[in-house]
């Protein structure tokens, strides 16, 4: 039997009014506003996870010697809560996020939070702040951000013995306010995101810090995002650094979805994993393997690879129009969103929003 901890609940004395909340939900953007509460759980070696609580959202007091500020032990997750037409509020495959949070913790020498605590924390926050989950009918949702960081004080380099787990919620608007928009990517030969034996398969905060200079380089090239290659050969396509990638090859009526195999240095996305199943459900072939930039460019030129897209929780699926690198550029599907891409997107978002059958039991009822 799962051990469920009791959460101490301290309600906010100054929650936003219904009018203030409605104004925010009208145009939430992404990651700009937060709900009235947050969940906090403490960890200390010898004591384990304790002091499970729901408290008003607000700043922490931070000791300057917190180890996270010096040596960076910090991991996170990202998932969404959706309100269905029947009033239920659900989330998508939370056990997969819980398992990945544990895998990230293990890689960063941090303690594992149980799946029960992880999912219970989500239930607690979404229950108390359920009015922050946008109405059904559109792409709006409540984005959930679980994270954990080292709170032991001291400058000695060793795995910390104290940590804090926090869950916050942020209403998110439609990712594509004006229809699904293909992005242009900069293929980075100069920088790498992750390497064999490194931290690339953990949802580790530092992976993002390490990617920002390359993101600046992409901006300078007029590109929206970075596409990362493997660290050794700088040839195998890995991922986007916040989203995984997939390609569509077509031969007559035969459709094959190709995605880079998990190499140890790319992040095992839950959207990626779900879309592998969706592709097969739609009758497409699936290839999970090494795909090089050379193969991609050649097969796009021959008209064999017809669509490319990035996938992750935030945008679900984001088509890729143009690939630019130091060696030149090429465009897929005339820079437009492809039919297979949009069909896969509609299928997955339909399941998440309760508009299509959830044949794989991916939805988890929160409220």
| Site for ligand PLP contains 313 (CB under 6 A) | yes
- Here the tokens at position 358 are 């959830």
Of 26-34, 51-59, 159-167, 265-273: span binding ligand PLP (CB under 6 A): 265-273
Binding mask 101-140 for ligand PLP (x = CB under 6 A): ----------------------------------------
Report the residue from 102, 271, 325, 333 that binds ligand PLP according to the rule CB under 6 A: 271
| Site for ligand PLP contains 91 (CB under 6 A) | no
d(CA 80, CA 77): 10
Task: Output 104 or 333, the one with its CB closest to ligand PLP.
Answer: 104
Least gap, CB of 19 to ligand PLP (angstroms): 33
Task: Output 94 or 242, the one with its CB closest to ligand PLP.
Answer: 242
Per the listing, tokens 């009918």 go with 137
d(CA 92, CA 257): 23
Which residues make Cβ contacts (< 8 Å) with residue 243, sequence separation at least 6? 225, 269, 271, 310, 311, 312, 314, 315, 318
CA dihedral 355, 358, 363, 365 (to 10 degrees): 70
Task: Output 78 or 206, the one with its CB closest to ligand PLP.
Answer: 78
Least gap, CB of 200 to ligand PLP (angstroms): 7
- How many CB atoms are located within 10 Å of the residue 30 CB? 14
Task: Output 97 or 306, the one with its CB closest to ligand PLP.
Answer: 97
Q: Yes or no: say if 259 and 231 are a contact pair by the CB < 8 Å rule.
A: no
Least gap, CB of 18 to ligand PLP (angstroms): 31
Least gap, CB of 261 to ligand PLP (angstroms): 15
- Here the tokens at position 9 are 């609940």
| Site for ligand PLP contains 269 (CB under 6 A) | yes
Region 225-254 residues binding ligand PLP, contact defined as CB under 6 A: 239, 241-244
Least gap, CB of 242 to ligand PLP (angstroms): 5
DSSP-assigned letters across all residues of 193-261: S--TTSSTTS-BHHHHHHHHHHHHHHHHTT-SEEEEBPTTTS-BB---SSSEEEEEEEETTEEEEEEEP
Task: Output 270 or 351, the one with its CB closest to ligand PLP.
Answer: 270
Half-sphere exposure of 189 (CA within 13 A, CB side): 10
- Here the tokens at position 214 are 């390359």
Q: How many residues touch ligand PLP (CB under 6 A)? A: 14
Report the residue from 182, 312, 319, 321 that binds ligand PLP according to the rule CB under 6 A: 312
Per the listing, tokens 């459900």 go with 281
Of 30-38, 81-89, 263-271, 335-343: span binding ligand PLP (CB under 6 A): 263-271
| Site for ligand PLP contains 260 (CB under 6 A) | no
What SS3 class is residue 304? Answer: coil
Least gap, CB of 275 to ligand PLP (angstroms): 9
Residue ranges in contact with ligand PLP by CB under 6 A: 78, 203, 239, 241-244, 267, 269-272, 312-313
């Amino acid at each position: 039997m799962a051990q469920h901890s009791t959460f101490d609940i301290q309600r906010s004395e100054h929650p936003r009014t219904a009018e203030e909340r409605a104004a925010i939900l009208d145009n939430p953007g992404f990651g700009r506003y937060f709900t009235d509460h947050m969940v906090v759980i403490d960890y200390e070696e010898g004591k384990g996870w304790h002091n499970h609580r729901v408290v008003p959202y607000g700043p922490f007091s931070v000791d300057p010697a917190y180890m996270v500020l010096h040596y960076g032990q910090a991991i996170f997750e990202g998932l969404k809560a959706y309100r269905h037409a029947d009033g239920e509020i659900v989330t998508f495959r939370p056990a997969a996020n819980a398992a990945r949070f544990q895998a990230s913790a293990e890689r960063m020498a941090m303690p594992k939070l149980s799946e029960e605590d992880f999912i219970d924390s989500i239930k607690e926050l979404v229950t108390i702040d359920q009015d922050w989950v946008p109405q059904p009918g559109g792409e709006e949702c409540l984005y959930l951000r679980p994270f954990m960081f080292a709170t032991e004080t001291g400058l000695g380099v060793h795995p910390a013995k104290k940590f804090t787990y926090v869950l916050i919620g942020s209403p998110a608007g439609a990712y594509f306010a004006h229809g699904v928009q293909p992005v242009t990517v900069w293929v980075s030969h100069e920088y790498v995101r992750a390497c064999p034996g490194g931290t690339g398969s953990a949802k580790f905060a530092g992976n993002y810090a390490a990617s920002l200079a390359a993101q600046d380089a992409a901006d300078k090239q007029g590109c929206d995002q970075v596409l990362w290659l493997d660290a050794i050969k700088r040839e195998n396509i890995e991922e986007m650094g916040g989203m995984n990638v997939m390609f569509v090859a077509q031969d007559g009526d035969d459709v094959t979805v190709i995605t880079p195999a998990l190499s140890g240095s790319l992040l095992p996305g839950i959207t990626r994993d779900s879309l592998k199943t969706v592709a097969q459900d739609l009758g497409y072939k699936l290839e999970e393997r090494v795909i090089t930039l050379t193969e991609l460019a050649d097969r796009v030129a021959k008209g064999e690879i017809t669509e490319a897209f990035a996938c992750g929780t935030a945008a679900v699926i984001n088509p890729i129009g143009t690939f630019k690198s130091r060696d030149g550029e090429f465009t897929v599907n005339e820079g437009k969103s492809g039919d297979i891409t949009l069909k896969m997107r509609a299928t997955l978002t339909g399941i998440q929003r309760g508009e299509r059958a959830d044949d794989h039991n991916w939805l988890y009822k929160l409220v």
